[in-house]
Amino acid sequence: MTEIMNGRDLSAKVKMNLKKSVEGLKKVGVTPALAVILVGDDEASKVYVRNKHRAAEKIGIKTIDETMPADSKQEDVIKMIEKYNNDPDVHGILVQMPLPKHIDEKAVIDAIDPKKDVDGSHPENMGRLFMNDPQALPCTPRGIMELLKEYDIDVRGQEVVIVGRSNLVGRPLAALMINSSATVTVAHSVTHDLQSVTKKADILVAAVGKAKMFNKDYIKEGAVVIDVGINRTAEGKLCGDVDAKDVMGKAAFLTPVPGGVGPMTVAMLMKQTVEFAERSVANV
């Protein structure tokens, strides 16, 4: 039997605990605040921002939504970031990706104060993560680690294969796994004989953005399968990078799409915002 790792339930539990933390912060005069900057009118980005806003509202986090036109100059986006860098009442800053093509994503990320970087993507935060001295963590990898912990899956000594090397998921997740004493392989689009690599994995993480790419032929018996992909079928239904029906019965654990990693990403964004607010109190 394959056990489904329920990210929705764990996310709800995390948010319930965060609500209590926020109530405690408000008693000492601090309301956690998150500034979300959206540039352009990408429909998927709008949905993500709405979901984050709703999650924050339920917890008691204040959100400041800044929507900028698609033709905004890069310098104006950076000025907006600097405005919130300098605002002591704002604890977290998130720039929703993707940005319009004329804006340098790296320059924008570099402009965020590392201590307010709730997405954990600033080079200082990435460097600290790889040095096992994290200040902020990318939310999807952090959510994956929380899911594994919830299901009592100890990664120490385990053979972990991550397929995908993005700065948001693959690379930081590899660092988190190494910091937790796993043995890590990062595979990607030019990996030779990918199937033979993934079939060695005790824990397989699929993060390539190709619908149902990984079937039972890619996994070994009893593997933990983490599906990070969010794709749409020809019928318009959401699906992951893993062919969930095909791996059922062969995988020991599987994250569903939707309802697996996705809700945990939002929960970790909220958690990090609250943690930043708690640090601001501790540093007073």
Hey, what are 69's tokens?
């036109």
Helix (H) / strand (E) element for 122: namely none
Q: Is 42 exposed, middle or buried (0-12, 13-18, 19+ CB in 10 A)?
A: middle
Question: Which residues are annotated binding-site positions?
Answer: 164-166, 230
Q: In angstroms, rounded to a whole number, what is the distance separating the alpha carbons of residues 67 and 84? A: 14
Q: Which of 52, 115, 116, 271 is catalytic?
A: 52
What pairing do the DSSP bridges indicate for beta strands 203-206 and 159-163?
A: parallel
Q: Is 39 exposed, middle or buried (0-12, 13-18, 19+ CB in 10 A)?
A: buried
Q: Which of 119, 227, 241, 243 is catalytic?
A: 119
Q: In angstroms, rounded to a whole number, what is the distance separating the alpha carbons of residues 186 and 42? A: 30
Q: How many CA atoms lie within 13 A of 201 on its CB side?
A: 31
The C-alpha angle 45, 49, 52, rounded to 5 degrees, equals 140
Helix (H) / strand (E) element for 22: namely helix 7-27
Question: Which residues are annotated binding-site positions for NADP(+)?
Answer: 164-166, 230
Hey, what are 15's tokens?
């948010």
Number of other residues whose CB lies within 10 A of the CB of residue 243: 18
Q: Which of 96, 115, 202, 241 is catalytic?
A: 96
- Asked whether the bond before 138 is cis by omega within 30 degrees of 0, the reply is no
Q: In angstroms, rounded to a whole number, what is the distance separating the alpha carbons of residues 49 and 59? A: 16
- Examine the residue annotation and report whether 158 is marked as an active-site residue of this protein: no
What residues are labeled active site?
Answer: 52, 96, 119
